[in-house]
Amino acid sequence: MMVGSRLQWSLRHTRQRLFECILIILAVGLGVAVIVTVVSVFARIDTQMDTLLANRRFRLFEVRSPMDQVSLQEMPPISVFSEEEKVELSITYQDLQALQSSLPEGMHVFIDNYRMQVTTPLLKADEPSSEGSGFTGLRLAGNAFQITETTVGYYRFHQPKLAAGSWFLEEDVQQGSKVIVLGSRLADRLFPDSDAVGRKLPVESWWGTVEYEVIGVLAPAEEEFPMPFDATADIGFVPISGSTHGPSQRYPSLYIGVDPELDLQHAYEVVQSEVAMKFGEAAAVRSPLMDYQRSQAEQSRTMILVAGLASVGLIVAIINILNLILARVLRRTKSIGLSLAIGSSRRMIFQQFLLESLVLGLLGAGVGVGLSFGFELVLGRLWGNVTGGSTWIRVLVGCGLGILVSLLFGVYPAYQGAKVNPADALRSD
Protein backbone atom coordinates (compact mmCIF):
# COMPACT_ATOMS: atom_id res chain seq x y z
CA MET A 1 0.00 0.00 0.00
CA MET A 2 1.42 3.38 -1.02
CA VAL A 3 1.86 6.26 1.42
CA GLY A 4 -0.99 8.21 -0.20
CA SER A 5 -3.38 5.30 0.20
CA ARG A 6 -2.33 4.84 3.80
CA LEU A 7 -2.89 8.53 4.45
CA GLN A 8 -6.39 8.36 2.96
CA TRP A 9 -7.10 5.31 5.13
CA SER A 10 -5.90 7.21 8.21
CA LEU A 11 -8.06 10.24 7.42
CA ARG A 12 -11.09 8.00 6.92
CA HIS A 13 -10.67 6.49 10.37
CA THR A 14 -10.12 10.00 11.75
CA ARG A 15 -13.46 11.16 10.34
CA GLN A 16 -15.19 8.13 11.83
CA ARG A 17 -14.10 9.26 15.32
CA LEU A 18 -14.31 12.98 14.57
CA PHE A 19 -15.21 14.32 18.04
CA GLU A 20 -12.57 12.17 19.70
CA CYS A 21 -9.97 13.32 17.16
CA ILE A 22 -10.90 16.98 17.66
CA LEU A 23 -10.30 16.63 21.39
CA ILE A 24 -6.91 15.02 20.74
CA ILE A 25 -5.94 17.78 18.29
CA LEU A 26 -6.99 20.53 20.72
CA ALA A 27 -5.11 18.92 23.62
CA VAL A 28 -1.94 18.66 21.55
CA GLY A 29 -2.47 22.14 20.09
CA LEU A 30 -2.76 23.89 23.45
CA GLY A 31 0.40 22.29 24.79
CA VAL A 32 2.34 23.01 21.60
CA ALA A 33 1.06 26.62 21.51
CA VAL A 34 2.33 27.41 25.00
CA ILE A 35 5.72 25.80 24.42
CA VAL A 36 6.17 27.49 21.02
CA THR A 37 5.24 30.85 22.57
CA VAL A 38 7.80 30.37 25.35
CA VAL A 39 10.47 29.47 22.78
CA SER A 40 9.55 32.64 20.85
CA VAL A 41 9.91 34.72 24.02
CA PHE A 42 13.41 33.39 24.67
CA ALA A 43 14.34 33.89 21.02
CA ARG A 44 13.15 37.49 21.26
CA ILE A 45 15.13 38.06 24.46
CA ASP A 46 18.31 36.76 22.81
CA THR A 47 17.72 38.98 19.77
CA GLN A 48 17.07 42.04 21.93
CA MET A 49 20.14 41.32 24.03
CA ASP A 50 22.34 41.18 20.93
CA THR A 51 20.84 44.48 19.76
CA LEU A 52 21.35 46.15 23.12
CA LEU A 53 24.93 44.95 23.45
CA ALA A 54 25.66 46.59 20.10
CA ASN A 55 24.11 49.88 21.28
CA ARG A 56 26.47 52.20 23.12
CA ARG A 57 23.75 53.62 25.35
CA PHE A 58 23.44 50.23 27.00
CA ARG A 59 27.18 49.89 27.49
CA LEU A 60 27.21 52.69 30.03
CA PHE A 61 27.77 52.45 33.78
CA GLU A 62 26.47 55.30 35.90
CA VAL A 63 28.26 56.05 39.17
CA ARG A 64 26.29 58.06 41.72
CA SER A 65 25.30 58.09 45.38
CA PRO A 66 23.27 55.05 46.54
CA MET A 67 20.62 57.53 47.74
CA ASP A 68 20.12 58.70 44.16
CA GLN A 69 19.82 55.27 42.55
CA VAL A 70 16.87 55.14 40.17
CA SER A 71 16.31 51.52 39.24
CA LEU A 72 12.94 49.95 38.58
CA GLN A 73 14.04 46.83 40.44
CA GLU A 74 15.93 48.40 43.35
CA MET A 75 14.32 51.74 44.14
CA PRO A 76 12.44 51.59 47.49
CA PRO A 77 9.12 53.41 47.77
CA ILE A 78 10.41 55.49 50.68
CA SER A 79 13.95 56.65 51.42
CA VAL A 80 15.19 54.80 54.49
CA PHE A 81 18.57 56.53 54.91
CA SER A 82 19.15 58.19 58.27
CA GLU A 83 21.08 61.44 58.53
CA GLU A 84 24.13 59.49 59.71
CA GLU A 85 23.94 57.11 56.75
CA LYS A 86 23.62 59.83 54.10
CA VAL A 87 26.92 60.16 52.25
CA GLU A 88 27.11 62.70 49.46
CA LEU A 89 29.11 61.86 46.35
CA SER A 90 31.18 64.81 45.17
CA ILE A 91 33.27 64.27 42.03
CA THR A 92 35.96 66.60 40.71
CA TYR A 93 37.86 66.63 37.45
CA GLN A 94 40.84 65.21 39.32
CA ASP A 95 38.66 62.27 40.43
CA LEU A 96 37.77 61.64 36.79
CA GLN A 97 41.42 61.62 35.79
CA ALA A 98 42.38 59.27 38.63
CA LEU A 99 39.57 56.84 37.83
CA GLN A 100 40.36 56.92 34.11
CA SER A 101 44.01 56.07 34.77
CA SER A 102 43.01 53.05 36.88
CA LEU A 103 40.70 51.54 34.26
CA PRO A 104 41.90 49.39 31.34
CA GLU A 105 41.94 50.62 27.77
CA GLY A 106 38.52 50.67 26.18
CA MET A 107 36.75 52.22 29.18
CA HIS A 108 36.03 55.95 29.09
CA VAL A 109 35.12 58.14 32.07
CA PHE A 110 33.10 61.31 31.48
CA ILE A 111 30.43 63.69 32.78
CA ASP A 112 27.20 63.94 30.80
CA ASN A 113 24.26 64.73 33.07
CA TYR A 114 25.04 68.32 34.07
CA ARG A 115 22.94 70.39 31.65
CA MET A 116 22.21 74.07 31.96
CA GLN A 117 19.73 76.35 30.26
CA VAL A 118 21.36 79.46 28.86
CA THR A 119 20.44 82.33 26.57
CA THR A 120 22.31 84.20 23.88
CA PRO A 121 21.82 87.62 22.26
CA LEU A 122 22.31 85.96 18.87
CA LEU A 123 18.71 84.73 19.15
CA LYS A 124 15.58 86.74 19.78
CA ALA A 125 13.34 85.88 22.71
CA ASP A 126 10.21 86.07 20.53
CA GLU A 127 11.53 83.55 17.99
CA PRO A 128 9.72 80.19 17.70
CA SER A 129 10.50 78.18 20.80
CA SER A 130 12.61 75.04 20.85
CA GLU A 131 11.70 71.74 22.47
CA GLY A 132 15.14 71.24 23.89
CA SER A 133 17.14 68.09 23.36
CA GLY A 134 14.33 65.71 22.55
CA PHE A 135 15.45 63.54 25.47
CA THR A 136 14.20 65.94 28.15
CA GLY A 137 11.22 67.24 26.20
CA LEU A 138 11.73 70.72 27.71
CA ARG A 139 10.25 73.66 25.84
CA LEU A 140 12.70 76.56 25.93
CA ALA A 141 12.35 80.24 25.19
CA GLY A 142 13.20 81.46 21.69
CA ASN A 143 16.63 82.77 22.71
CA ALA A 144 17.48 79.82 24.99
CA PHE A 145 19.24 76.51 24.51
CA GLN A 146 21.05 73.93 26.61
CA ILE A 147 24.73 73.32 27.16
CA THR A 148 26.28 70.36 28.90
CA GLU A 149 29.68 70.19 30.53
CA THR A 150 31.59 67.06 29.63
CA THR A 151 35.05 65.67 28.96
CA VAL A 152 36.99 64.09 26.13
CA GLY A 153 35.83 60.68 27.35
CA TYR A 154 32.34 61.45 26.03
CA TYR A 155 33.68 61.82 22.50
CA ARG A 156 35.96 58.80 22.73
CA PHE A 157 33.08 56.57 23.81
CA HIS A 158 30.11 57.88 21.80
CA GLN A 159 32.23 58.81 18.77
CA PRO A 160 29.68 61.30 17.37
CA LYS A 161 30.21 62.27 13.75
CA LEU A 162 31.34 65.83 13.12
CA ALA A 163 29.99 67.82 10.19
CA ALA A 164 32.72 70.45 10.63
CA GLY A 165 35.60 71.27 12.95
CA SER A 166 36.72 69.02 15.79
CA TRP A 167 36.01 68.04 19.39
CA PHE A 168 37.87 69.76 22.20
CA LEU A 169 41.07 68.16 23.51
CA GLU A 170 42.24 67.11 26.96
CA GLU A 171 44.37 70.26 27.05
CA ASP A 172 41.23 72.37 26.59
CA VAL A 173 39.70 70.73 29.65
CA GLN A 174 42.83 71.16 31.75
CA GLN A 175 43.28 74.81 30.72
CA GLY A 176 39.61 75.76 31.01
CA SER A 177 39.38 76.81 27.35
CA LYS A 178 36.17 78.61 26.39
CA VAL A 179 35.30 76.41 23.41
CA ILE A 180 32.03 74.76 22.39
CA VAL A 181 30.82 72.02 20.02
CA LEU A 182 27.29 72.59 18.71
CA GLY A 183 24.57 70.09 17.84
CA SER A 184 23.40 70.14 14.24
CA ARG A 185 20.05 71.94 14.77
CA LEU A 186 21.52 74.32 17.33
CA ALA A 187 24.21 75.39 14.84
CA ASP A 188 21.53 76.07 12.23
CA ARG A 189 19.57 78.18 14.73
CA LEU A 190 22.55 80.24 15.84
CA PHE A 191 24.30 80.67 12.48
CA PRO A 192 21.75 79.98 9.74
CA ASP A 193 23.59 81.81 6.97
CA SER A 194 27.24 80.95 7.60
CA ASP A 195 29.68 78.34 8.85
CA ALA A 196 29.54 78.13 12.63
CA VAL A 197 33.14 76.97 13.16
CA GLY A 198 35.35 79.83 14.31
CA ARG A 199 32.44 82.08 15.29
CA LYS A 200 32.05 83.60 18.75
CA LEU A 201 29.03 82.61 20.84
CA PRO A 202 28.16 84.82 23.84
CA VAL A 203 26.24 82.87 26.48
CA GLU A 204 24.33 84.39 29.38
CA SER A 205 23.22 82.54 32.49
CA TRP A 206 22.84 82.96 36.23
CA TRP A 207 26.64 82.86 36.69
CA GLY A 208 27.24 85.69 34.23
CA THR A 209 28.31 85.99 30.60
CA VAL A 210 30.85 83.73 28.89
CA GLU A 211 32.01 83.99 25.28
CA TYR A 212 32.74 80.65 23.63
CA GLU A 213 34.50 79.93 20.37
CA VAL A 214 32.74 77.35 18.20
CA ILE A 215 35.28 74.66 17.27
CA GLY A 216 32.98 71.94 15.94
CA VAL A 217 29.49 71.07 14.71
CA LEU A 218 27.99 67.60 15.09
CA ALA A 219 26.48 65.86 12.10
CA PRO A 220 22.80 64.87 12.33
CA ALA A 221 22.65 61.54 14.12
CA GLU A 222 21.00 58.52 12.55
CA GLU A 223 17.99 57.03 14.28
CA GLU A 224 19.16 54.34 16.64
CA PHE A 225 17.22 51.96 18.87
CA PRO A 226 15.97 52.65 21.51
CA MET A 227 15.93 56.46 20.92
CA PRO A 228 14.34 57.31 17.57
CA PHE A 229 15.51 60.94 17.64
CA ASP A 230 18.70 62.97 17.69
CA ALA A 231 19.28 63.59 21.41
CA THR A 232 22.27 65.90 20.81
CA ALA A 233 20.96 68.09 17.97
CA ASP A 234 19.93 71.03 20.19
CA ILE A 235 22.77 70.92 22.73
CA GLY A 236 26.13 72.63 23.02
CA PHE A 237 29.05 70.71 24.55
CA VAL A 238 31.70 72.57 26.56
CA PRO A 239 34.63 71.34 28.69
CA ILE A 240 33.68 70.86 32.35
CA SER A 241 36.22 73.53 33.26
CA GLY A 242 35.04 75.92 30.55
CA SER A 243 32.30 77.71 32.53
CA THR A 244 32.72 80.26 35.29
CA HIS A 245 32.74 77.36 37.76
CA GLY A 246 36.26 76.55 36.67
CA PRO A 247 38.07 73.30 37.46
CA SER A 248 36.82 73.33 41.07
CA GLN A 249 33.27 72.41 40.03
CA ARG A 250 31.96 69.20 41.65
CA TYR A 251 29.50 66.75 40.18
CA PRO A 252 27.11 64.23 41.78
CA SER A 253 27.66 61.48 39.22
CA LEU A 254 29.76 60.26 36.31
CA TYR A 255 29.54 57.77 33.46
CA ILE A 256 31.88 55.01 32.32
CA GLY A 257 31.46 53.82 28.73
CA VAL A 258 32.69 50.40 27.63
CA ASP A 259 33.77 49.76 24.04
CA PRO A 260 32.01 46.90 22.17
CA GLU A 261 35.25 44.89 22.04
CA LEU A 262 35.21 44.38 25.83
CA ASP A 263 33.11 41.85 27.73
CA LEU A 264 30.42 43.83 29.55
CA GLN A 265 30.11 41.51 32.56
CA HIS A 266 33.87 41.58 33.19
CA ALA A 267 33.89 45.35 32.71
CA TYR A 268 31.10 45.65 35.28
CA GLU A 269 33.18 43.77 37.85
CA VAL A 270 36.23 45.93 37.12
CA VAL A 271 34.21 49.15 37.42
CA GLN A 272 32.64 48.04 40.70
CA SER A 273 36.04 47.23 42.14
CA GLU A 274 37.68 50.50 41.07
CA VAL A 275 34.73 52.65 42.14
CA ALA A 276 34.66 50.97 45.55
CA MET A 277 38.38 51.63 46.00
CA LYS A 278 38.04 55.26 44.91
CA PHE A 279 34.76 56.37 46.51
CA GLY A 280 33.91 53.65 49.03
CA GLU A 281 30.29 53.49 50.16
CA ALA A 282 29.61 56.97 48.78
CA ALA A 283 29.13 55.58 45.26
CA ALA A 284 27.11 52.83 43.62
CA VAL A 285 27.31 51.51 40.06
CA ARG A 286 24.23 51.14 37.91
CA SER A 287 23.86 49.95 34.32
CA PRO A 288 20.75 50.25 32.11
CA LEU A 289 21.64 46.86 30.64
CA MET A 290 21.77 45.27 34.09
CA ASP A 291 18.33 46.72 34.86
CA TYR A 292 17.08 45.29 31.57
CA GLN A 293 18.61 41.90 32.33
CA ARG A 294 16.94 41.79 35.75
CA SER A 295 13.60 42.63 34.16
CA GLN A 296 14.07 39.96 31.50
CA ALA A 297 15.16 37.44 34.14
CA GLU A 298 11.86 37.95 35.96
CA GLN A 299 9.96 37.43 32.71
CA SER A 300 12.07 34.37 31.94
CA ARG A 301 11.30 32.80 35.31
CA THR A 302 7.61 33.36 34.71
CA MET A 303 7.79 31.87 31.23
CA ILE A 304 9.78 28.86 32.46
CA LEU A 305 7.08 28.23 35.07
CA VAL A 306 4.38 28.51 32.41
CA ALA A 307 6.33 26.19 30.10
CA GLY A 308 6.78 23.70 32.94
CA LEU A 309 3.07 23.67 33.68
CA ALA A 310 2.29 23.35 29.97
CA SER A 311 4.73 20.45 29.67
CA VAL A 312 3.12 18.66 32.61
CA GLY A 313 -0.29 19.24 31.07
CA LEU A 314 0.97 17.97 27.72
CA ILE A 315 2.35 14.81 29.35
CA VAL A 316 -0.99 14.17 31.05
CA ALA A 317 -2.72 14.74 27.72
CA ILE A 318 -0.32 12.31 26.02
CA ILE A 319 -1.15 9.61 28.58
CA ASN A 320 -4.88 10.12 28.04
CA ILE A 321 -4.46 10.20 24.27
CA LEU A 322 -2.40 7.01 24.44
CA ASN A 323 -5.28 5.31 26.23
CA LEU A 324 -7.73 6.57 23.59
CA ILE A 325 -5.55 5.36 20.72
CA LEU A 326 -5.03 2.02 22.45
CA ALA A 327 -8.81 1.65 22.84
CA ARG A 328 -9.21 2.41 19.13
CA VAL A 329 -6.70 -0.33 18.31
CA LEU A 330 -8.58 -2.83 20.45
CA ARG A 331 -11.86 -1.92 18.76
CA ARG A 332 -10.28 -2.66 15.39
CA THR A 333 -8.80 -6.03 16.36
CA LYS A 334 -10.96 -7.96 13.87
CA SER A 335 -10.08 -5.52 11.08
CA ILE A 336 -6.39 -5.98 11.89
CA GLY A 337 -6.74 -9.77 11.80
CA LEU A 338 -8.46 -9.59 8.42
CA SER A 339 -5.68 -7.39 7.03
CA LEU A 340 -3.06 -9.84 8.25
CA ALA A 341 -5.01 -12.76 6.80
CA ILE A 342 -5.11 -11.29 3.29
CA GLY A 343 -1.38 -10.55 3.19
CA SER A 344 -0.59 -7.37 5.16
CA SER A 345 2.61 -7.58 7.19
CA ARG A 346 2.90 -6.68 10.86
CA ARG A 347 5.22 -3.87 9.78
CA MET A 348 2.50 -2.40 7.57
CA ILE A 349 0.00 -2.58 10.46
CA PHE A 350 2.49 -0.83 12.74
CA GLN A 351 3.16 1.89 10.16
CA GLN A 352 -0.57 2.38 9.54
CA PHE A 353 -1.41 3.07 13.18
CA LEU A 354 1.70 5.20 13.62
CA LEU A 355 0.68 7.25 10.57
CA GLU A 356 -2.74 7.88 12.12
CA SER A 357 -1.03 9.16 15.28
CA LEU A 358 1.32 11.29 13.19
CA VAL A 359 -1.62 12.89 11.36
CA LEU A 360 -3.28 13.80 14.66
CA GLY A 361 0.00 15.12 16.09
CA LEU A 362 0.77 17.31 13.08
CA LEU A 363 -2.78 18.67 12.95
CA GLY A 364 -2.45 19.51 16.65
CA ALA A 365 0.92 21.16 15.95
CA GLY A 366 -0.66 23.28 13.22
CA VAL A 367 -3.40 24.39 15.61
CA GLY A 368 -0.73 25.10 18.25
CA VAL A 369 1.36 27.28 15.93
CA GLY A 370 -1.77 29.25 15.03
CA LEU A 371 -2.71 29.67 18.69
CA SER A 372 0.82 30.83 19.52
CA PHE A 373 0.24 33.98 17.43
CA GLY A 374 -2.85 34.69 19.52
CA PHE A 375 -0.87 34.15 22.72
CA GLU A 376 1.73 36.57 21.33
CA LEU A 377 -0.91 39.30 21.06
CA VAL A 378 -2.00 38.69 24.66
CA LEU A 379 1.58 38.81 25.96
CA GLY A 380 2.23 41.91 23.87
CA ARG A 381 -0.56 43.73 25.71
CA LEU A 382 0.74 42.57 29.09
CA TRP A 383 4.52 42.90 28.70
CA GLY A 384 5.07 44.79 25.48
CA ASN A 385 6.93 43.40 22.48
CA VAL A 386 8.37 40.29 24.15
CA THR A 387 7.88 37.70 21.43
CA GLY A 388 9.07 37.50 17.88
CA GLY A 389 11.51 35.53 15.80
CA SER A 390 11.11 33.87 12.44
CA THR A 391 7.77 32.30 11.57
CA TRP A 392 9.68 29.38 10.11
CA ILE A 393 11.28 28.75 13.49
CA ARG A 394 7.83 28.57 15.04
CA VAL A 395 6.65 26.17 12.36
CA LEU A 396 9.71 23.96 12.76
CA VAL A 397 9.44 23.90 16.55
CA GLY A 398 5.71 23.19 16.32
CA CYS A 399 6.20 20.38 13.79
CA GLY A 400 9.01 18.92 15.85
CA LEU A 401 6.81 18.89 18.95
CA GLY A 402 3.93 17.41 16.94
CA ILE A 403 6.11 14.54 15.68
CA LEU A 404 7.53 13.93 19.17
CA VAL A 405 4.07 13.86 20.73
CA SER A 406 2.85 11.55 17.96
CA LEU A 407 5.63 9.10 18.72
CA LEU A 408 4.96 9.25 22.45
CA PHE A 409 1.26 8.41 22.17
CA GLY A 410 1.40 6.39 18.94
CA VAL A 411 4.24 3.90 19.15
CA TYR A 412 2.86 1.68 21.91
CA PRO A 413 -0.69 1.33 20.45
CA ALA A 414 0.82 0.67 17.00
CA TYR A 415 3.08 -1.98 18.51
CA GLN A 416 0.13 -3.61 20.23
CA GLY A 417 -1.84 -3.60 16.98
CA ALA A 418 1.03 -5.23 15.10
CA LYS A 419 1.17 -8.05 17.70
CA VAL A 420 -2.43 -9.15 17.08
CA ASN A 421 -2.81 -12.85 16.27
CA PRO A 422 -4.94 -13.05 13.10
CA ALA A 423 -6.62 -16.33 14.11
CA ASP A 424 -7.70 -14.95 17.48
CA ALA A 425 -8.70 -11.63 15.89
CA LEU A 426 -11.00 -13.28 13.33
CA ARG A 427 -12.74 -15.33 16.06
CA SER A 428 -13.41 -12.16 18.11
CA ASP A 429 -16.70 -10.23 17.96
Q: What angle do CA 136, 293, 312 make, to 5 degrees?
A: 135
Give 333 or 141, the one with higher predicted confidence: 333
Handedness of CA 138, 141, 142, 147 (dihedral sign): negative
Mean pLDDT of 8-35: 78
Q: Which burial class, exposed, middle or buried, applies to 84 when counting CB atoms under 10 A from its CB (0-12, 13-18, 19+)?
A: exposed
Is the pLDDT reported for residue 183 higher than 70? yes
φ, ψ (nearest 5 deg) of residue 339 = -65, -40
55 DSSP 8-state letter: S
Give the list of residues 6+ apart from residue 115 with CB closer than 8 angstroms, or none: 133, 136, 146, 147, 148, 235
| 142 closest CA partner among 117, 162, 167, 160 | 117
122 φ/ψ sector (left φ>0, alpha ψ -120 to 50, else beta): alpha
Widest CA span of the chain, in angstroms?
Answer: 110
What local confidence, expressed as pLDDT, does residue 142 receive?
A: 72
What local confidence, expressed as pLDDT, does residue 16 receive?
A: 67
Sheet containing 60-64, strands listed edge to edge, beginning at the edge strand earlier in sequence: 107-110, 253-258, 60-64, 284-286
Give 10 or 336, the one with higher predicted confidence: 336
pLDDT band at 377 (very low <50, low <70, confident <90, very high): confident
What local confidence, expressed as pLDDT, does residue 77 receive?
A: 42
What local confidence, expressed as pLDDT, does residue 429 receive?
A: 60
pLDDT, tens digit, 9 for 90 and up, residues 194-250: 899 999 999 988 778 889 999 999 998 775 544 444 578 889 999 987 655 555 578
Give the list of residues 6+ apart from residue 201 with CB closer than 8 angstroms, or none: 120, 122, 180, 182, 190, 211, 212, 213, 214, 236
pLDDT band at 81 (very low <50, low <70, confident <90, very high): very low
Is the pLDDT reported for residue 43 higher than 50? yes
| 409 closest CA partner among 348, 357, 355 | 357
Torsion of CA 255, 260, 265, 267, to 10 degrees: -50
What local confidence, expressed as pLDDT, does residue 127 receive?
A: 59
Amino acid making up residue 206: W
| 97 closest CA partner among 153, 57, 148 | 153
